[in-house]
Every structure is written in structure tokens, then in C-alpha cells.
Amino acid sequence: DQQVKQNSPSLSVQEGRISILNCDYTNSMFDYFLWYKKYPAEGPTFLISISSIKDKNEDGRFTVFLNKSAKHLSLHIVPSQPGDSAVYFCAASEYGNKLVFGAGTILRVKS
Amino acid sequence: NAGVMQNPRHLVRRRGQEARLRCSPMKGHSHVYWYRQLPEEGLKFMVYLQKENIIDESGMPKERFSAEFPKEGPSILRIQQVVRGDSAAYFCASSPSPGEKLFFGSGTQLSVL
């Protein structure tokens, strides 16, 4: 039962352009959403989060959008840089409970 | 300010042996989570512990796997009688309170021969 889905296994983007990573969820009780970034042989590192009371959160080049009616969130990276190449995981939770992760999207930023 | 520390980074075991994975949470964090990542898959929740208590073990296989987080010392994930299918990266994460973002360790890569 995949409650959090990242349907694109990989994404390739030119340096300087926008990267858009998508995530869908099925559990309407989720109220907290996060994006993590992971390099090979390292643990995931927190990138940005959004609570269900908001529809947008921005931090520098990273913006997360939440569409509760569609149960969809997306991460925008503008402008994309080669150092952004990594695996990006979407995660969600009900308050106080464990994070549920998607399968990840491999982002490759070409210079 | 040390982050989440996991050891060993790599662990090789033969089928039937025991594997012990250790995790020291960030200072001030009393909530520990264990996740497993199989090849080509995402992170799967295994167990959530607070000091001396297992809060949620819904992702833990019923047999051979156990976890603890004693009053003193690191959290331990123990896998008895390992099989090849246990080969994976095991990540520990901690948070200061439930519902907050998790900070992850670098993981333990378990290889079962």
C-alpha cells in the first residue's frame, strides 16, 4: 500500500533551468510534508517542508507547493545546479507519527 | 554538534549470523526511527522508539528483527539468523519530539553472503 508515490523515477534538466519534482499521496490524514535529498552512500538530508495549512513554502532556490484537493505536492528548484544532482524523496506524516517516504526521483542536472 | 551517528558503516555477515546495528541520536533527541532501503526502492519505516519504549513497530518483520533504545547508550537494531534478503542500507533518524523533521545518520550497509 503505497501512500506516497513519486511516479517519475528520474528527471534530467539543463543547468540554469527549472527542476520540478512531483509527489502524490493517498492518505487524507497527512498534515506535514517534507522533501529530502540523498547523495550516494550518505543519509537523506532535510531540504524543505510544508504543513497542510499552507499551499506554498519557499527557501532560496527551493519552493514546495501543496495542492490538498489533488493530494499532490511538488518541489521546484530554480535555477538548477549540477550540485543538485541527487535522489529526492518526498515524505509525509500525520502529526506525531512516522514519516512515510516515496520511492524517490533521481535528478540529473547537466552542465 | 554531532549529528546522528551510525556504526558500523558497512557490515558483512554470512547467512545465519547475527547483525547488530548501532545508532546514537543527535544530542537532545529522544525519538529514534529505523528505516530500511532495499536496492532500487525508497525508505521503508521499520520501528519508532523513545527511551526504553517501542512506540511503533508496525514496519518490523515479526521474526528475527528486534530493536531497543535503552536508558543509557545507543539504539540497537538486531537481526538474528540473517538471510540474503536482509541485505540493504539501514538508516537511523532522530528528532527532538514526534512530528518534527527527522535527522538521518549515514546508514549501515548490510551485506549478507
For the stretch B51-107, pLDDT in tens is 889 999 999 999 999 999 998 899 999 999 999 999 999 999 999 988 788 999 999
Cβ neighbours around B89 below 10 Å, total: 17
Q: Do A97 and B4 touch (CB under 8 A)?
A: no
Cβ neighbours around A84 below 10 Å, total: 18
Q: Do A41 and B106 touch (CB under 8 A)?
A: yes
**Cell numbers standing for residue B22:** 548501532
Q: What is the pLDDT of residues B7-51, one digit of tens each?
A: 999 999 999 999 999 999 999 899 999 999 987 788 999 999 998
The DSSP code sequence of A7-71 is --SEEEEETTS-EEEEEEE--TT--EEEEEEE-TTS--EEEEEEETT-SEEEETTEEEEEETTTT
| Residue where the block lists cell 511538488 | A74
pLDDT in tens, chain A (111 residues): 689 999 999 999 999 999 999 999 999 999 999 999 999 989 999 999 999 999 999 999 999 999 999 999 999 999 999 999 999 999 999 877 889 999 999 999 999
Shortest Cα–Cα distance, A104 to chain B (Å) = 6
Largest separation between any pair of C-alpha atoms in chain B: 38
Q: Which residues of A touch B42 (CB under 8 A)?
A: 6, 89, 101-104
